[in-house]
Amino acid sequence: MNTEEQLKTSFFHKVSISDGARGQLREFLNSQTENFPRGIFEPFVQMIKEDFRTIVIELDNGDGKYFSFSEIHRLNPLIGEIFGELLVQNDQGHKVISVYDRDRLGSMFQGARYHQTREGGSIHTDNVNVPEPWDYLYMSCVSPALAGGENILVDGLRVHQELKASYPNALKELELPFVWEMRGVADELYRAPIITYNEEGEPLFRHLRPYMESAHQKAGEPLKDEQLYAIDVLDALTNSSEFQVRYRMKKADILLTKDAQVLHGRTCFSDAIEAVSLEDYEKGKGKTLKRTMERLWVRKGANDD
Ligand SMILES: [Fe+2]
């Protein structure tokens, strides 16, 4: 098995739900009952709790027509809470965030949040806006882009091995505190290292460069040369194809990652000219939907270890 195959089998898993399970979901959606068929997703809770760091769950049966946009939107919080507690992701108290391009000219480098732009790059973890750690990133594809928009998944454990083996000075620097902002959540700064370790000694990452650069500026503490060197090395590694798996999510795919061990990003994308947001689509203001992902941040239950 070559390295690439190994990376795919130990790091990236794709699973599909059965026709029977799909039927149960259909019945639930049609009947408007409260009895959500949780059992369908419980095996995946076990998978992500154990060795699997990235799972793609295919809900649809291949042609993307089984569930409507609104049905996927309705299912997401119900599926997400099977994995744990859903966290608030902005100052308006939202637990489900729509990731779509608000404005073709929007940019993270001018203060926008990543999920509001069409920009690619900036491979990162999502656990940067709040100091407290959480566990799983849940992304659901309501609609793919017209062009581009591949998801990039980076094996943080292998990046850490490479840092340790070849760039020990950069690693040491990444283990020291940096300044972070809580963009979109609160107007505060906090300090935390980019790399910390869990009880098993495995590395945990916290990284989103534009937010950190802007936090250092706000704090009046420009990044030092050693810090810039360390972040440059990290970014160079996370952008290397040998540590990446790329996957273009289809309609009704769900991506689950252990956020602190799987850095992620996407390639830039374009929607159709006439594409509209899900809100406008549901109001009948357009027939084509923009690339729309729904994102949940999940903290696994206290008794789940
Ligand atoms: Fe993200």
Give 241-302 as a 3 state SS string.
HHHEEEECCCCCEEEEEECCCEEEEECCEECCCCCECHHHHHCCCCCCECCEEEEEEEECCC
Residue type, 224: K
Candidates 254, 253, 257; CA nearest to 245 is 257
If you measure from the C-alpha of residue 104 to the centroid of ligand 1, how many angstroms do you get, rounded to a whole number?
18
Q: How many angstroms is it from 1 CA to the middle of ligand 1?
A: 30
Q: How far is the CA of 68 from the centre of ligand 1 (A)?
A: 24
The mean pLDDT of 272-285, rounded to a whole number, is 93
What pLDDT, on a 0 to 100 scale, did the predictor assign at position 183? 81
**Residue of 123, 132, 55 lying closest to 88 (CA atoms):** 132
Distance 238 CA to ligand 1 centre (A): 14
Distance 264 CA to ligand 1 centre (A): 6
Where is average pLDDT lowest: 97-111, 245-259, 268-282, 288-302? 97-111
Please tell me the pTM assigned to this model. 0.91
pLDDT at residue number 5 = 53
205-232 pLDDT, tens digit each: 999 998 899 999 999 999 999 999 999 9
| Cα–chain center distance at 129 | 13
Output the CA 237–ligand 1 centroid distance in Å. 18
pLDDT value of position 1: 44
Q: How far is the CA of 99 from the centre of ligand 1 (A)?
A: 9
Q: 33 C-alpha to center of ligand 1: Å?
A: 33
pLDDT averaged over every residue in the chain: 90
Domains and CATH numbers, the chain: 3-299 (3.60.130.10)
Return the pLDDT at 304. Answer: 57
C-alpha 123 – ligand 1 centre gap (Å): 8
Mean pLDDT, range 264-282, rounded to an integer: 92
- Between the CA of 259 and the centroid of ligand 1 the distance, in Å, is 9
| CA 173 to ligand 1 centroid distance, Å | 23
What is the Cα 125 distance to its own chain's centre? 7
Q: How far is 82 from 200, CA to CA, in rounded Å?
A: 25
What is the b/e burial string over 235-244, where b = at least 16 CB atoms within 10 angstroms of the residue's CB?
bebbbeeebb
Q: What is the pLDDT of residues 110-156, one digit of tens each?
A: 777 777 777 777 899 999 988 888 999 999 999 999 999 999 999 99
Mapping DSSP to helix (H, G, I), strand (E, B) and coil, where does residue 154 land? strand
Q: Cα(124) to centroid of ligand 1, in Å?
A: 6
Q: How do residues 158-215 score in pLDDT, each as one tens digit?
A: 999 999 999 999 999 999 999 999 887 788 999 999 999 999 999 999 999 988 999 9
Between the CA of 141 and the centroid of ligand 1 the distance, in Å, is: 13
Report how far ligand 1's centroid is from the alpha carbon of 136 (Å). 11
**Averaged over 245-260, what is the pLDDT?**
96
At 202 the pLDDT is 94
10: confidence class by pLDDT, cuts 50, 70, 90:
low
Burial (0-12, 13-18, 19+ Cβ within 10 Å), 287: exposed
CB atoms within 10 A of CB 111: 11
206 contacts 125 by C-beta, under 8 angstroms: yes
Instruction: State the distance from the centre of ligand 1 to the C-alpha of 27, rounded, in angstroms.
Output: 33
Query: Given this model, what pLDDT does residue 2 score?
Result: 47
